[in-house]
Amino acid sequence: MAKTISVTLKVWRQKDAHAPGRLVTYQMNNIDIDMSFLEMLDIVNQGLELKGEDPIAFDHDCREGICGSCGSVVNGHAHGPEAETTLCQLHMRRFKNGDVIVIEPWRAEAFPVIKDLVVDRSAFDRIIAAGGFISVRTGSAPEAHSVPVPKENADLAMDAAQCIGCGACVAACPNASAMLFVSAKVSQFALLPQGQPERRSRVLKMVTQMDNEGFGNCSNHYECEAACPKGISVSNIARMNRDYLCAGLTSA
Amino acid sequence: MSFARGSLLSSSIFRKQLVALTGLVMVGFILGHMAGNLLIFLGPNIFNDYADKLASLGELLWIIRTGLVISILMHIYFTAKLTRENSKARRTRYEVYTPSADNKFARMTMIYSGILLFCFLILHLTDFTLAEKEGAASVLGAQKLRLFGLVWNSFLNPWRDLVYILAVCSVGLHLSHGIQSFIQTIGFNHPRYTPWILKASVILGIIVAVGFSSIPVYVMVRQHTIGY
């Protein structure tokens, strides 16, 4: 017989982008502790649907911790209390019987709530469109050994490229700043030879877009790093800071 | 004042770097100021000589003062702007928000410790820098001890001591976050040195708080034991 717990959920319910939201309490009994957090929400929604009520809207896709779709603030922690774990990989065994669990959407003006726990993260897409790519010639793939990459740089670039764009950094930041996301995307190119030709213009364009989207300013609290499900380091922010300074003060 | 979109002065990063640089100027001043103040432990002659040497710098002193005033004004102007933008970036607050990174008290209170120490700065300037150094307030045991006497007599008031100690603690708190923040903002981060920089920042904050606090404590203790 699987171990079960009872928890009290306080979930942010908001009809649409314009309606005011509020926390609604749901008492959940007999929750199997081996359930994931999202499976627990599925059970809540099943109950709501059977009663003819509107289910809680939340984003999710792979449920394997790699797509970046899911994410809510659980008891004040983006993606919940488990370190380097997306919300879908958080399990109910992390909670105790009788716990009160407050579930809120990412809160940032740049991420407006669409419904309940679902927010519009297209600001991230526009930042990527502003410069998060390399303009390459088309044609056959070049010989791999023709562009040597130092092992250390390859590792750091891969670390930065682990960012799944979930937005937890913005949610956790006291200033709702997107610096960890943008710096990871800037770094993965800045560390590799293929990213060099557009290195200066890329960082200028992406930061300008970031500022235009209405994210806050980084004040080095490092809450982003603590919340990031992929453990992206704030050393990427330092790299972006120095790249930006160099790019801003010198002409190409 | 607003700056053209996309220009350096309108960018979040460059403005933070200006805040960082002007902060560094003031950190330099504070460390020098503390080193000078601690000369009070060596007695009135050395302390007053030091004050005279500073005053005799002439134009150089005014260049330093102008630099400091510009730094303070820029630091305040850009942090005010950044703080306003930050509160606009999240209008709906979380019902529950649990910060988990280190040194969070200093980080969450930067703007308050900053405001507090600016108010203190004005009080401090009227207390000592702008005060009459030859008058009755400088007399200690029938001797005219100028700035030394003025400082000594001021710190005989326990309320003033309390205000000063609280103020220098807020300076220390501000620096415990500010120094490592400067290094990160300017773009330096290294897997070997950064953990030490984070620690050194806190230690330096404590040194500044303890160093400045030691003066009113010394005056009080000495006055009540051997007297001046």
Structure tokens at B39: 């000369």
Nearest CB among A109, A176, A241 relative to B186 is that of A241
DSSP 3-state of A4: strand
Give the model's pLDDT for residue B1.
45
Number of domains forming the structure of chain A: 2
The verdict on a CB contact (< 8 Å) between A221 and B104 is: yes
State whether A127 and A197 are in the same domain.
yes
Nearest CB among B11, B93, B100 relative to A208 is that of B11
Domain that holds residue B45: 10-88+105-225
Domain that holds residue A224: 122-140+148-249
Ramachandran region, residue A36 (left: φ > 0; alpha: ψ -120 to 50; beta: rest): beta
The verdict on a CB contact (< 8 Å) between A217 and B86 is: yes
Average pLDDT over residues A116-124: 98
Average pLDDT over residues A127-132: 97
In a domain, B3, yes or no: no
- Domain containing residue A55: CATH number: 3.10.20.30
In a domain, B5, yes or no: no
Contacts of A176 in chain B (CB under 8 A): 86, 89-90
Q: What is the dihedral of CA B97, B103, B106, B109, to 10 degrees?
A: -10
Nearest residue in chain A measured CA to CA from B179 = A220
Burial of B92 (0-12, 13-18, 19+ CB in 10 A): middle
Distance between A148 CA and the closest CA of chain B, angstroms = 24
Give the model's pLDDT for residue A143.
86
Cα gap A101→A80, rounded to integer Å: 10
In a domain, A114, yes or no: no
Residue A30, phi then psi, degrees to nearest 5 = 55, 50
In a domain, B1, yes or no: no
Give the model's pLDDT for residue B181.
96
- Domain containing residue A184: CATH number: 1.10.1060.10
Nearest CB among A102, A176, A248 relative to B90 is that of A176
Contacts of B6 in chain A (CB under 8 A): 204, 208
Nearest CB among B10, B88, B185 relative to A220 is that of B185
Residue B6: pLDDT band (50, 70, 90) is low
Distance between B20 CA and the closest CA of chain A, angstroms = 10
State whether A99 and A18 are in the same domain.
yes
Distance between A204 CA and the closest CA of chain B, angstroms = 8
Cα gap A173→A101, rounded to integer Å: 21
Contact criterion met (CB below 8 Å) for B171 and B117: yes
Whose tokens are 């160099």? That residue is: A246
Contacts of A216 in chain B (CB under 8 A): 85-86, 88-90
Sign of CA dihedral A103, A107, A111, A115: positive
Cα gap B200→B205, rounded to integer Å: 8
Give the model's pLDDT for residue A171.
98
The verdict on a CB contact (< 8 Å) between B93 and A107 is: yes
DSSP 3-state of B136: helix
Cα gap B169→A66, rounded to integer Å: 45
Interface subset of B 33-62, CB within 8 angstroms of A? none
In a domain, B52, yes or no: yes
Give the model's pLDDT for residue B2.
52
Number of domains forming the structure of chain B: 1
Query: Do the bridges between strand A100-104 and strand A4-13 make them parallel or antiparallel, or are there none, so unpaired?
Result: parallel
In a domain, A161, yes or no: yes
State whether A131 and A227 are in the same domain.
yes
| Residue B22 identity (one-letter amino acid) | T
How much of chain A, in percent, has pLDDT values that exceed 90?
A: 92
Q: What is the dihedral of CA A64, A123, B90, A81, to 10 degrees?
A: 10
Cα gap A76→B100, rounded to integer Å: 10
Contact criterion met (CB below 8 Å) for A42 and A139: no
DSSP 3-state of B129: helix
The verdict on a CB contact (< 8 Å) between A10 and B93 is: no
Cα gap B171→A37, rounded to integer Å: 44
Q: In this predicted model, what pLDDT tens digit does every residue of B148-157 receive, in sequence order?
A: 999 999 999 9
Distance between A212 CA and the closest CA of chain B, angstroms = 8
B92 touches chain A (CB under 8 A): yes
Contacts of A215 in chain B (CB under 8 A): 89
Whose tokens are 């928890």? That residue is: A7
**Average pLDDT of chain B?**
92
Q: What is the ipTM of this complex?
A: 0.91
State whether A86 and A176 are in the same domain.
no
In a domain, B212, yes or no: yes
Q: In this predicted model, what pLDDT tens digit does every residue of B12-69 receive, in sequence order?
A: 999 999 999 999 999 999 999 999 999 999 999 999 999 999 989 989 999 999 999 9
In a domain, A111, yes or no: no
Q: In this predicted model, what pLDDT tens digit does every residue of B104-125 receive, in sequence order?
A: 899 999 999 999 999 999 999 9
State whether A206 and A175 are in the same domain.
yes
In a domain, A243, yes or no: yes
Structure tokens at B32: 């020098």
In a domain, B110, yes or no: yes
Helices B110-124, B59-89: inter-axial angle, 10-degree rounding: 150
State whether A163 and A215 are in the same domain.
yes
State whether A136 and A196 are in the same domain.
yes
Contact criterion met (CB below 8 Å) for A14 and A20: yes
B102 touches chain A (CB under 8 A): yes
Structure tokens at A171: 């949610």
Q: In chain B, which ranges are continuous DSSP H helix?
A: 12-37, 44-55, 59-89, 104-108, 110-124, 146-154, 158-186, 194-225
The verdict on a CB contact (< 8 Å) between B88 and A242 is: no
Q: What is the DSSP string of B74-87?
A: HHHHHHHHHHHHHH
Contact criterion met (CB below 8 Å) for A58 and A30: no
How much of chain B, in percent, has pLDDT values that exceed 90?
A: 79
Contact criterion met (CB below 8 Å) for A36 and A89: yes
For residue B143, pLDDT beyond 90: no
Q: How many CB atoms lie within 10 A of CB A77?
A: 24
Of residues A161, A152, A153, A159, the one with CA closest to residue A134: A161
